[in-house]
Amino acid sequence: MNHGIFTVSLDFELHWGQFDKIDVSKNIKYFDNTLDVIPKMLSLFEQNNIEVTWATVGLLYCKSIKDLKERRPQYLAEYNNPKVSAYHYVDTLYNDKYARFYFAQDLIKKIQNTKGQELATHTYAHYYCLEKGHTKQAFDADLKSASKISESFGVHNKSIVMPRNQFNPTDCDIINNNNIVVIRTNPDSWCWNFDFKINILKKIARSADCYLPLFKTHYLLASKKMHNGLLLLPASRFFKPLHKVSLLNKLRIRRIKNEMTKAAKSNSCYHLWWHPHNFGINPTLAMKELEVIIDHFNFLNKTYNMKSKSMISTYDMIVKNTETYA
């Protein structure tokens, strides 16, 4: 391949990704900021020809809680911890007062109508494949529900991002059997390995790597292999939310820019990801940071011919040979 690749994937979930972590009633401004900033992201992406994969929780396609309940899959995971189940949350804590944080048809249509944006799946109900109680039958039912509701919008899911990065290689056959061909996997470093059990060390290493060059984050696409019909496309960097310490924010952005430059110079892939709600803390400053990153990509595009590719565009390039690669 004679150019680098800049891939962006977003975990689009609103409160479905955090219902077991935070109280929505205490974070109204945070999620309202998220709803406001997403169209601004889309505008910025379109103006700069940035392809983005929006891995979308299927429940966001529903129009109401009544619609959601009518679409409940036939088989559900019986998690050992019921609090991680979206259906348990709906049955026990859901408040229709905050429906705008659970159903997002208008935003989905905006994404759909913005040039270069891919609507992918983040499973139907923020499904966890490494949670005790997960079964292949329930996971398959979840993905089928995700496909059914997205197809009602004319969207055919070809890419997937696993909630909380819970990638389980033994489930690749289920994913591929649901016509999905590319998955975002975790960075190729020990601190992202779920089998490494010393969590405090993993957290320290992940945090430090956001500011200091501890791990290699770019990779050659030619080194990526298929697994049970899926292209495994590792993430490179989580675009960490704003820190209260401005120096750390400067180090974080410098780290990302340096990583992008290394990928561009070596004709490698750099895969940046975040959640749209990560911009909810301070959307104005967060958007300024994103503009800095995109400006840097534009520089790399002009200088080293780096290209912006969504996950499915990357798959098409490497698997369907729409371009030659090394």
**223-246 pLDDT per residue, tens:** 777 888 899 999 999 999 988 888
CATH of 5-319 among 3.40.50.720, 3.20.20.100, 3.20.20.370, 3.30.70.330: 3.20.20.370
For the residues 133-145, what does the mean pLDDT come to? 97
Q: DSSP label at 242?
A: P
Q: How far is residue 179 CA from its own chain's centroid?
A: 19
Contact, 77 vs 85, CB < 8 A?
A: yes
What whole-number distance in Å separates Cα of residue 251 and Cα of residue 248? 5
- Report which secondary-structure segment, H or E, holds 52: strand 52-56
Please say whether the beta carbons of 87 and 141 come within 8 A. no
The residue type of 74 is: Q
Using the structure block, give the residue that is written with the tokens 């992940």.
206
Q: pTM higher than 0.75 for the full model?
A: yes
What tens digit of pLDDT does each residue of 37-89 get?
Answer: 999 999 999 999 999 999 999 999 999 999 999 999 999 999 999 999 999 99
pLDDT at 217: 80
Residue-level pLDDT at 2: 83
Q: Give the count of beta carbons closer than 10 Å to the beta carbon of residue 32.
A: 14
pLDDT at residue number 200: 72
Q: Where are the domains of the chain?
A: 5-319
Residue 214 has pLDDT above 80, yes or no: no
What is the reported pLDDT for 326? 35
